[in-house]
Amino acid sequence: MAAMRKIASIPFLEGESAVLHVSEEEILPSGEFVTVTDKNIVEFFAPADSNRMLKMPPGETAKAWTSVEKILNFALSLSLGRDGMMLGFGGGVVCDVTAFAASIYMRGCRLVLVPTTLLSMVDAAIGGKTGINFGGSKNILGTFYPANEVRICPKLLRTLPDWEYKSGLAEVIKHAMLEPKKYGLLDILLSRREAILSRDSRILNRIIPAAAKIKADIVSADLREQGRRAYLNLGHTFGHALEGATNFIRWSHGEAVAWGIKKALDLGERMGITNPDWAKFSRRLFSEYGFDDVNLEVESSKLKEAMIHDKKKQGGELRFILMRDAGEVTVEKVNQFDLDSVLEIRNG
């Protein structure tokens, strides 16, 4: 049975293919299983038994209860046992939905994730959060259910369109902001921008494990987000609101998070919390990786409405993850006046 476990260690193997272990024991993808994948990437994956493979439609719209039902019905139709395994092979949506299904199938079956996007390699597949969108809100339904094993193959990133690869870079930058000295990730981002943007395999084999380890270190000390894990939500209250207000189709998750982090920096500066020099440095870093300011064409009232349903509320109040300086994070209540100020968005 796949129980919820504390993350123990993360050995990352050199070369084109790598393995991340996120549980204390190694559980190889063998035995009885079902595979969930994305129609866009199925050509890169040839399972031993294609009759045990469920292909989902691509994109955020698949991150829904109907997808979970399809996975559960598929597993039942194949008589998958409690000791069986669900294998999620795909991006963040596939990883989140497969993990959610695994967490509730017979009260929890084995789970192996093979993330195929940069975003899922450094974020969605790491840390045990599962979730689907519901009622117009991002990730409002979900569980905490760490995978038994996460297998990463950086070579798959060569198949990504530029916008998808860029989306993952936003989370890499966020992790570097949270831990600017750990594993040398920030230094690599500053010194090897061209190599990172060109997807140099040697650099990918450095930034992916560094970013994954930063997240895993944080999660291992706070699986259920009672404290420090909340720092990983930097920019996400704003970003998730943007995604929800545009029906999850206008902006990629990474673009929304990059915009959200810059809004969090604006808010922190306005409240006298964020060091202006750090805010300026961080904005410039995002800009150097192509996350420029854009006209979002979204009314601030729609963003505020989306925030009302944000799952990070406590006691009926929104809490925002803000930064004091490099690696220094705080969780703050925000008054309506300051929030309205940073949500001034030009229309059309």
Q: Which of 50-59, 118-127, 206-215, 292-301 is the least confident region? A: 292-301
Smallest CA-to-CA distance from 323 within 178, 180, 219, 123 is with 178
* Residue 348: per-residue pLDDT: 39
Q: 42 with 151, same domain? A: yes
Q: 161 with 299, same domain? A: no
Report the distance separating Cα 76 and Cα 105, nearest Å: 9
Q: 148 with 173, same domain? A: yes
The string of pLDDT tens digits covering residues 60-104 is: 889 999 999 999 999 999 999 988 999 998 999 999 999 999 999
Q: Which two tokens stand for residue 157?
A: 């990133």
Strand positions, DSSP E, 173-258? none
Q: Does the pLDDT value for residue 180 go beyond 70?
A: yes
Q: How far apart are the first and last CA of the chain?
A: 53
The contacts of residue 118 (CB under 8 Å, 6+ apart) are: 157, 160, 164, 165, 167, 168, 169, 171, 172, 208
Q: Tell me, what CATH number does 259's domain have?
A: 1.20.1090.10
Q: Does the pLDDT value for residue 4 go beyond 80?
A: no
The 10 Å Cβ neighbour count of residue 182 is 15
Question: Does residue 139 contact residue 244 with C-beta atoms inside 8 Å?
Answer: no
Q: What is the CA radius of gyration of the chain?
A: 19
Report the distance separating Cα 22 and Cα 141, nearest Å: 23
Single-letter code of the amino acid located at 171:
E
Q: Does the pLDDT value for residue 320 go beyond 90?
A: yes
Longest dimension (CA), the chain: 58
**86 vs 1, 133, 162, 180, CA distance in Å?**
12, 21, 29, 35
| Alpha carbons within 13 A on the beta-carbon side of 259 | 22
Q: Does the pLDDT value for residue 314 go beyond 80?
A: no
Domain assignment of residue 12, yes or no: no
Q: 25 with 160, same domain? A: yes
Q: 50 with 137, same domain? A: yes
* Residue 251: per-residue pLDDT: 85
Q: 113 with 259, same domain? A: no
Global pTM value: 0.83
The whole domain housing 277 covers 234-342
Q: Does the pLDDT value for residue 242 go beyond 80?
A: yes
Q: 115 with 178, same domain? A: yes
Q: 191 with 118, same domain? A: yes
Q: 41 with 96, same domain? A: yes
* Residue 182: per-residue pLDDT: 87
Question: Does residue 322 contact residue 267 with C-beta atoms inside 8 Å?
Answer: yes
Q: Does the pLDDT value for residue 47 go beyond 80?
A: no
| Domain finish residue from 186, 220, 254 | 220
Which residue is it, tokens 């929030």?
A: 339
| Mean pLDDT taken over the chain | 84
Domain count, the chain: 2
* Residue 21: per-residue pLDDT: 40
The string of pLDDT tens digits covering residues 199-222 is: 998 999 899 989 998 998 888 878
Q: 92 with 204, same domain? A: yes
Mean pLDDT of 170-198: 96
Q: 23 with 49, same domain? A: yes
